[in-house]
């Protein structure tokens, strides 16, 4: 059985690592080939992650790079078609919700190749997010859908996806987190490395900020207000701020760089996986607009303030450490103050976030493919 596994952007890398390991445990009956679309290409966004996570070099790299959504998606489609034709996989496996996910699923589905979506059924209900469109369409194209939280089942059923295609397996991103936690790089060494030894005064003394959503960083007023809010929080909780390339470009374009030149904030380049893990693990609070970080902080029991109006990962709010803050400065500051008062830590874990999600996926997928090959298309 040949399975073509796709990655494109940073959050995909953490998800594919345990899946590749779980599939390779079934060799030689199964052959897993890794295709990288090249949506993310900077060393900091890319090869650092492959190395830290022990992901093998991709068998194919489509090197699509950046572009408008249409250009990026179309370029992936054109280039992946050739690989699918040559390799003729039994299934194409995609993770997450980035443009590469949808582009590859669409090409495979039309060629009659089984499409497998890991992290299916998450919905923010907000179609202004490009990822929401990618999620809805990828799920419609998928033959087999693996979910991270139980509510995803109802989201998929409401969109007409047959129940027998949906499998609740847990969270592969958390497989990776649990596996790598012992190797996390301590935050103190990062502060020193970036020229500010003693910044944040060690475990529990600092917070983490990440921003990259177009809705937060593409308009100067929104971005300036968020940075000002971060500076005010930084006065009590110094903030380490790994800056996404999109955000760095926006800060330069809008002339907001001066705001980062402050005692309360430590900007740094995008970090490797083990550095980011170390940073989150010992943080007093994480402020973010990322999807994955909402889940990672829940797994770590670290309070998370999400700088968005909604989340596609409600379990992190219901059972985890996450609070949806939006972008109103007063609300963000109030949440931060409340959290300082009560500590905000919780250690309840969502079901199946136990490090075994990828093993479950491999077992279900192989069984399904065997049965499909044996006759009735199931
Ligand atoms: C993408 C995903 C998003 C994910 C994020 C994680 C989509 C629609 N969005 O957003 O869901 O949370 O990745 O990082 O797929 N750039 C570089 N170097 C790189 C990659 C990007 O400099 O290696 C810059 C380019 O200026 C590019 C911009 O970042 O135009 C945006 O990159 P893109 O891949 O389009 O989307 P992200 O914002 O990274």
Instruction: Pick the atom of ligand 1 nearest to 45's CA.
Output: 23
Quick one: which of 1, 52, 47 has its CA closest to 180? 52
Q: Is 130 in the pocket of ligand 1 (CB under 6 A)?
A: yes
Instruction: Give me ligand 1 centre to Cα 246, in Å.
Output: 7
Q: Is 2 exposed, middle or buried, given 0-12, 13-18 or 19+ CB atoms closer than 10 A?
A: middle
Confidence at residue 378, expressed as pLDDT on a 0 to 100 scale: 47
Measure the CA–CA gap between 246 and 45, rounded to whole angstroms: 11
Quick one: which of 137, 135, 99 has its CA closest to 120? 135
Q: Is 307 in the pocket of ligand 1 (CB under 6 A)?
A: no
Q: Is 43 in the pocket of ligand 1 (CB under 6 A)?
A: no
pTM for the model stands at: 0.96
pLDDT tens for the chain, 378 residues long, are 999 999 999 999 999 999 999 999 999 999 999 999 999 999 888 988 999 999 999 999 999 999 999 999 999 999 999 999 999 999 999 999 999 999 999 999 999 999 999 999 999 999 999 999 999 999 999 999 999 999 999 999 999 999 999 999 999 999 999 999 999 999 988 999 999 988 987 888 999 999 999 999 999 999 999 999 999 999 999 999 999 999 999 999 999 999 998 899 999 999 999 999 999 999 999 999 999 999 999 999 999 999 999 999 999 999 999 999 999 999 999 999 999 888 766 678 999 999 999 999 999 999 999 999 887 554
Confidence at residue 343, expressed as pLDDT on a 0 to 100 scale: 72
- Work out the end-to-end distance of the chain between its first and last CA atoms, rounded to an integer number of angstroms: 16
Catalytic residue, candidates 36, 40, 212, 336: 212
Q: Which two tokens stand for residue 211?
A: 């921003």
Q: Is 223 exposed, middle or buried, given 0-12, 13-18 or 19+ CB atoms closer than 10 A?
A: buried
Confidence at residue 202, expressed as pLDDT on a 0 to 100 scale: 80
Q: Is 131 in the pocket of ligand 1 (CB under 6 A)?
A: yes
Measure the CA–CA gap between 246 and 240, rounded to whole angstroms: 18
Q: Is 45 in the pocket of ligand 1 (CB under 6 A)?
A: yes
The pick from 7, 9, 99, 104 for probing ligand 1's pocket by mutation, whose C-beta has the most ligand atoms within 8 angstroms, reads: 9
Confidence at residue 8, expressed as pLDDT on a 0 to 100 scale: 98
The pick from 10, 44, 65, 66 for probing ligand 1's pocket by mutation, whose C-beta has the most ligand atoms within 8 angstroms, reads: 66
Strand partners, 323: 305
Instruction: Pick the atom of ligand 1 nearest to 212's CA.
Output: 38
- Catalytic residue list contains 194: no
Q: Which two tokens stand for residue 330?
A: 């007063």
Measure the CA–CA gap between 185 and 281, rounded to whole angstroms: 10
Block residue for tokens 């980035």: 98
């Amino acid at each position: 059985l040949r399975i073509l596994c796709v990655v494109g952007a940073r959050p995909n890398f953490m998800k594919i690592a345990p899946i590749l390991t779980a599939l390779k445990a079934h060799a030689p009956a199964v052959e897993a080939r890794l295709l990288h679309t090249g949506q993310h290409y900077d060393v900091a966004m890319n090869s650092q992650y492959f190395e830290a996570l022990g992901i093998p070099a991709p068998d194919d790299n489509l090197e699509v790079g950046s572009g408008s959504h249409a250009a990026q998606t179309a370029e992936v489609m054109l280039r992946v078609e050739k690989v699918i034709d040559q390799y003729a996989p039994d299934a194409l496996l995609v993770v997450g919700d980035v443009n590469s996910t949808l582009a590859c699923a669409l090409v495979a589905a039309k060629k009659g190749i089984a499409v497998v979506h890991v992290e299916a059924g998450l919905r923010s209900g907000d179609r202004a997010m490009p990822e929401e469109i990618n999620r809805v369409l990828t799920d419609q194209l998928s033959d087999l859908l693996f979910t991270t939280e139980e509510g995803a089942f109802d989201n998929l059923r409401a969109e007409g996806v047959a129940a027998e295609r949906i499998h609740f397996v847990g969270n592969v991103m958390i497989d990776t987190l649990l596996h790598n936690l012992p190797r996390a790089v301590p935050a103190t060494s990062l502060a020193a490395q970036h020229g500010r030894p003693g910044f944040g005064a060690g475990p529990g003394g600092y917070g983490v900020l990440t921003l990259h959503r177009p809705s937060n960083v593409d308009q100067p007023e929104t971005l300036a207000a968020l940075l000002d809010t971060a500076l005010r929080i930084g006065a009590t909780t110094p903030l380490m701020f790994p800056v996404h390339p999109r955000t760095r470009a926006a800060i330069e374009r809008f002339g907001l760089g001066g705001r980062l030149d402050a005692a309360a904030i430590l900007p740094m380049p995008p970090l490797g996986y083990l550095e980011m893990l170390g940073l989150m693990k010992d943080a007093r609070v994480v402020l973010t607009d990322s999807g994955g970080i909402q889940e990672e902080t829940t797994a770590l029991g670290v309070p998370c303030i999400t700088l968005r109006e909604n989340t596609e990962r409600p379990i992190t709010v219901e059972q985890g450490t996450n609070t949806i803050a939006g972008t109103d400065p007063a609300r963000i500051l109030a949440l931060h103050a409340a959290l300082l008062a009560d500590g905000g830590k919780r250690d309840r874990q969502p079901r199946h976030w136990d490090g075994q999600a990828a093993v479950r996926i491999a077992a279900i997928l192989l069984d399904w493919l065997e049965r499909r090959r044996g006759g009735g298309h199931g």
